[in-house]
Amino acid sequence: MWENITILPNITSTAVNATDMVIKKNSLQSNSKYILFLIVTSREGTEGFAALEFETAGAPHSGHCEPSISEGVALKTEFSFKCFGWKDKSRPITYEFRLGDDPLSYGRSSKSASTVLPAGQPADDFKLEINIIIKNNVGVAVVETLFVKVNNPSYFIDYFSHLHYNVNARQFQASLQFLPEIA
């Protein structure tokens, strides 16, 4: 079903008498088909027209992402992130893995490089926001947001110290080395 849409000045960024037309970003719906009709009349009254059919790109869809592990220790536990099932007509798809706004890895691989992360803030329950930008070949993107809990090593000392009152601090600190293997 076609719907007539009049091209208003807020849709294009070119003058009426320009030899080309630039459509402003986000003026058209994504993943939609359009026909652009151009009707001209010369000074002598001769009319002509042209039509151009095109389709706007849609965002990647039908996928999800997940962390290799949901909780770890700052600067010790290695995290990686993997995406599954993303589809798009405009291939290839690229994946940008970010800690907030800071890049962790980028490329065509749907799996990030392994990395250690800093501790989250106690006020945020030590959770860090991982943003994964899934982008198609024409630049249309979707953002998947994950959260991982990255504890400060001292968090474990505070948390477990009441359970191990007969273990001295040096022995307890040494036992923390085994936590990533247990988790």
pLDDT tens for each residue of 79-119: 999 999 999 999 999 999 999 999 999 999 999 999 999 99
Question: Residues 72, 150: one domain?
Answer: yes
Question: Residues 82, 147: one domain?
Answer: yes
Most confident of 30-34, 117-121, 159-163, 174-178: 117-121
Determine, yes or no, domain membership for 97. Answer: yes
pLDDT at 162: 54
Q: DSSP letter at 45? A: S
Write down the residue that tokens 């009426």 correspond to.
16
Q: Taking the model in full, what pTM does it have?
A: 0.70
60-86: b (≥16 Cβ within 10 Å) or e: beebebebeeeebbbeebebebbbeeb
On whether the CB atoms of residues 60 and 142 are closer than 8 A, the answer is yes
Instruction: Tell which of 40, 56, 72 closes a domain.
Output: 56
pLDDT at 182: 43
Determine, yes or no, domain membership for 90. Answer: yes
Structural domain total, the chain: 2
Question: Residues 85, 169: one domain?
Answer: yes
Give the range among 5-14, 107-116, 132-141 with minimum mean pLDDT: 5-14
Question: Residues 6, 84: one domain?
Answer: no
- Average pLDDT in the 10-28 region? 85
User: In this predicted model, which residue has the larger pLDDT, 183 or 176?
Assistant: 176
pLDDT at 163: 55
Question: Residues 82, 45: one domain?
Answer: no
Residue 157 confidence class, pLDDT cut points 50, 70, 90: low
Q: Which contiguous run of DSSP H or E holds residue 38?
A: strand 33-41
HSE-up of residue 174 (Cα within 13 Å, Cβ side): 5
pLDDT at 45: 93
Q: Which contiguous run of DSSP H or E holds residue 85?
A: none
Range of the domain at 18: 1-56
